[in-house]
Amino acid sequence: GAVVSQHPSWVICKSGTSVKIECRSLDFQATTMFWYRQFPKQSLMLMATSNEGSKATYEQGVEKDKFLINHASLTLSTLTVTSAHPEDSSFYICSAPRWLAGGSDEQFFGPGTRLTVL
């Protein structure tokens, strides 16, 4: 079945550095991908919708200059956390819908990336 991968699965970085997280759809094309953040013991929070060939759509309260999203191709979206700080430490997940005949879609989640900023 369809798979969505994320890389890296975990990363530890120093405060002030930038970290790039990749989300790939492995056997289908995804014109849209979603990026979420999950704080400990809390639910997923949608950060932004990544759109291939156009700008990402950010949810209210999410800094677009802080969390740069680039949907470079139909199978790849990247999230770059710029000038990371300890409060950015979190679990980041992407998901991608695969559209089916008839107009419905299936949603596939990546395995997530655990970011720890020291």
Partner 1 sequence: GQQVMQIPQYQHVQEGEDFTTYCNSSTTLSNIQWYKQRPGGHPVFLIQLVKSGEVKKQKRLTFQFGEAKKNSSLHITATQTTDVGTYFCAGLLRSQGNLIFGKGTKLSVKP
Q: List residues binding partner 1 (CB under 8 A).
A: 1, 34, 38, 40-41, 43-44, 46, 49, 91, 93, 95, 97, 103-107, 109, 111-112, 114
Nearer Cβ to partner 1 (45/82): 45
Nearer Cβ to partner 1 (57/80): 57
Nearer Cβ to partner 1 (8/16): 8
Task: Find the shortest distance in angstroms from Cβ 86 to partner 1.
Answer: 15
Note if the bond before 40 is cis, omega within 30 degrees: no
Task: Find the shortest distance in angstroms from Cβ 43 to partner 1.
Answer: 4
Closest C-alpha to 5, from 95, 107, 67, 89: 95
Backbone angles phi, psi at 76, to 5 degrees: -140, 130
**CA 18 → CA 2, 50, 51, 55, 107, distances in Å?**
30, 19, 22, 20, 29
